[in-house]
Structure 1
Amino acid sequence: MDLAVIWFIAISVLWIGYFVLEGFDFGVGILMPFLGKRDSVDRRVALNAIGPVWDANEVWLLTAGGAMFAAFPAWYASLFSGFYVPLFLILLALIVRGVAFEYRGKRDDAQWRLWWDRAIFLGSALPALLWGVAFANIVQGVAMDADHIVTASLLDLLNPYALLGGLTTLSLFTLHGAVFLTLKTDGPVRVRARQAALRTAYVAVPAGAAFLLWTQLAHGKAWTWPLVLIAAAALVGGAAAALKGREGRSFTLMVVTIVAAATTLFGSLFPDVLPSTTDPAFSLTVANASSADYTLTVMTWVAVVFLPLVLLYQGWSYWVFRKRVTGATVTGETVTAGPDTGVAA
């Protein structure tokens, strides 16, 4: 297999890992205003549920972006110039959210925490929406000239297919976060999260089904049909499991949904990396957008050595903080590590 193809697959895996792990972080941030009254212990419980892992989850984004830059510089250049406004808004939202996590608990003041709670909500909702818009446009293609310069305007990116993609990721990540909270917390937050999961499913299931069907019919390939069916079945099954209180099964099925749906997108895109709607001959492909073989070879050896270490460390951190978070763990003398406290337990 060509090294460029291998790295396309590797980058796809990095993005899928990011959506699975950061997806529930976004969902928790979106749901936080609805999980308890302002300045309540319940909001601290929700934040502490993702406190030990949210920054490690964002590393998947940095790695995916870095791998794109090194393996497919032409793809990276066209994408980040043509999608400058939405990607800048995503970056700004992630910065604001990270600052909010760290500064929310720095002052014992209800108004102070309220403003940071709003920042966490916006910093979670905006990327959850815009990632769907961006990747829908990548799969669908954009206006691009022979020099691989994207000529599409911001309004061109806000087309019906892309907006449906944004609604899908927004609702899917919100559902993912709600299911995660039912698995990771106990007490009032767990009860409210289950209610939020059921309500969000009324949007996520039809939106996800419509987006996957549109993607398959317009851009999919014969071999991606099973992935579409798996994603749809897992999404419905995950919502049904949440209704029955089977939290572990529900979370597993949500992971399967995101993996299958994202794989459908990347599978529909291949062998292009950024199709041109101006002229198919202007499209960026795995072949014409990749770096030299020497660069890809060096990257491969680096990944072989360091990727297992990163996976082992992140798996260990999830194991260490595997216990449920409750009100007692954030109000007692010993607190769960998290962005609300800024300290380790």
Structure 2
Amino acid sequence: MELHDVWFVLIAVLWTGYFFLEGFDFGVGILTKLLARNRPERRVLINTIGPVWDGNEVWLLTAGGATFAAFPEWYATLFSGFYLPLLVILVCLIVRGVAFEYRAKRPEENWQRNWETAIFWTSLIPAFLWGVAFGNIVRGVKIDQHFEYVGTLADLFNPYALLGGLVTLTLFTFHGTVFTALKTVGEIRLRARKLALWVGLVTSVLAVGFLVWTQADSGDGKSLVALIVAVVALVAALVANQAGREGWSFALSGLTIAASVAMLFLSLFPNVMPSTLNGDWSLTVTNASSSPYTLKIMTWCAAIATPLVLLYQSWTYWVFRKRIGTQHIAPDAAAGSAH
């Protein structure tokens, strides 16, 4: 296996980690409006991800940086062609971080309600747009002989990409719902489990349609195996949720995300960004990659740094592993004057 193939796999792993972690992160943000009935419950939801949301976004920075260094042509075409959707995602992530930090800085109800609304929308919009973006990457876009995107913004919102956006939106919401059931106690835990059933059923219909469409268009034997794993894991997650096994449900919903991302990258390889105008103009792992020397240095750096990052983030999740409920919210915080 050549180094550019190795880095294609590593980038797929980075995106898998990002969607696994930020997926439930986005899902919990969406639940602040769908599940929480009052301010203490919204505070509980925010507290479940409060210690980890910023660490989850490190995976996005690493995936973007690795793409820039390993496949500069891919990075250039992707970020120029998808400029507006990616800019919207970036703005949402910035506002979302500010909302987490500033929500409790003042006790006024309007102040906190506005930041909570911001958390909801800046979780929902990226959850949808990431699916649109990856749908277009797998389907292919209008790339000319100079490896430049020559389509329009409207071209990106095609039926396949829109379905991909709905899949990531519902799948992340389901992932966040089972995470909430895993991390909370009391009534909110029971309601999260019930909501997970309905969100999971909607997700199943959309995800099966999208993955089958992908398989029919560009799949092979390996991607078919990933499709089957994703579907079986999603069904098993629903069964585990109904049985009250939140840990298993969360792990299986995460496996669904991992298998789905794997299927997309397996369907994509050896392309990194297909051209719908001419197959010869597609970006591939060969013509879009950096020099072998650059990839060699990157490989050594990744081999040293990655285990350290994984150990630190695992430790963070271990420290904040306890369940929480409204009884853990101090009275002044429930009234809106604390963080």
Paired with 2:205 and 2:235, the residues of 1 have a C-alpha distance of 10
Paired with 2:247 and 2:78, the residues of 1 have a C-alpha distance of 37
Residues 304-341 of structure 1 show CA distances to partners (whole Å, capped at 9, x for unaligned) of 111100000000000011000122322179x9xxxx96
Q: Specify the alignment match of 1:234 in structure 2.
A: 233
Q: Specify the alignment match of 2:179 in structure 1.
A: 180
Paired with 1:107 and 1:161, the residues of 2 have a C-alpha distance of 44
Q: Specify the alignment match of 2:34 in structure 1.
A: 34
Q: Name the % identity.
A: 56
Superposition pairs of residues 323-342 of structure 1, within 5 angstroms: 323-331=322-330
Paired with 2:263 and 2:97, the residues of 1 have a C-alpha distance of 30
Q: Specify the alignment match of 2:4 in structure 1.
A: 4
How far is the alpha carbon of 1:245 from its aligned partner? 1.4
2:272 alignment partner, SS class: strand
Q: Specify the alignment match of 1:16 in structure 2.
A: 16
Paired with 2:42 and 2:164, the residues of 1 have a C-alpha distance of 29
Amino acid at match of 2:51: P
2:182 alignment partner, SS class: helix
How far is the alpha carbon of 1:36 from its aligned partner? 2.5
Amino acid at match of 1:145: D
2:286 alignment partner, SS class: coil
1:104 alignment partner, SS class: helix
How far is the alpha carbon of 1:101 from its aligned partner? 0.5
Q: Specify the alignment match of 1:55 in structure 2.
A: 54
Q: Is the 8 A contact 1:46 1:189 kept in 2?
A: no
Q: Is the 8 A contact 2:107 2:338 kept in 1?
A: no
Is 1:294 the counterpart of 2:287 in the alignment?
no
Paired with 1:189 and 1:180, the residues of 2 have a C-alpha distance of 12
Amino acid at match of 1:237: A
Superposition pairs of residues 91-110 of structure 1, within 5 angstroms: 91-110=90-109
Residues 220-243 of structure 1 show CA distances to partners (whole Å, capped at 9, x for unaligned) of 112211110110011111112212
Amino acid at match of 2:298: M
Paired with 1:259 and 1:2, the residues of 2 have a C-alpha distance of 24
Amino acid at match of 2:165: G
Q: Is the 8 A contact 2:138 2:268 kept in 1?
A: yes
Cα 1:83–1:341 change in 2 (3 A) is: farther
Q: CA RMSD in A?
A: 1.4
Cα 1:276–1:341 change in 2 (3 A) is: farther
Residues 48-71 of structure 1 show CA distances to partners (whole Å, capped at 9, x for unaligned) of 000111100000000000000000
Paired with 2:96 and 2:58, the residues of 1 have a C-alpha distance of 15
Residues 164-211 of structure 1 show CA distances to partners (whole Å, capped at 9, x for unaligned) of 100000000000000000001112221221122112123101001101
Amino acid at match of 1:191: L
Superposition pairs of residues 58-73 of structure 1, within 5 angstroms: 58-73=57-72
Q: Specify the alignment match of 2:116 in structure 1.
A: 117
Q: Specify the alignment match of 1:154 in structure 2.
A: 153
2:327 alignment partner, SS class: helix
Paired with 1:316 and 1:120, the residues of 2 have a C-alpha distance of 26
1:134 alignment partner, SS class: helix
Paired with 2:186 and 2:276, the residues of 1 have a C-alpha distance of 52
Paired with 1:43 and 1:191, the residues of 2 have a C-alpha distance of 15
Q: Is the 8 A contact 1:25 1:177 kept in 2?
A: yes
Amino acid at match of 2:186: G
Q: Specify the alignment match of 1:199 in structure 2.
A: 198
Q: Is the 8 A contact 1:224 1:264 kept in 2?
A: yes
1:52 alignment partner, SS class: coil
Q: Specify the alignment match of 1:141 in structure 2.
A: 140
Superposition pairs of residues 205-284 of structure 1, within 5 angstroms: 205-284=204-283
Cα 1:254–1:141 change in 2 (3 A) is: same
Q: Is the 8 A contact 1:42 1:188 kept in 2?
A: no
Paired with 1:188 and 1:120, the residues of 2 have a C-alpha distance of 23
Unaligned segments of structure 1, at least 5 residues: none
Paired with 2:324 and 2:67, the residues of 1 have a C-alpha distance of 37
Unaligned segments of structure 2, at least 5 residues: none
Paired with 1:158 and 1:298, the residues of 2 have a C-alpha distance of 38
Q: Give the TM-score taking structure 2 as reference length.
A: 0.97
Q: Is the 8 A contact 1:45 1:189 kept in 2?
A: no
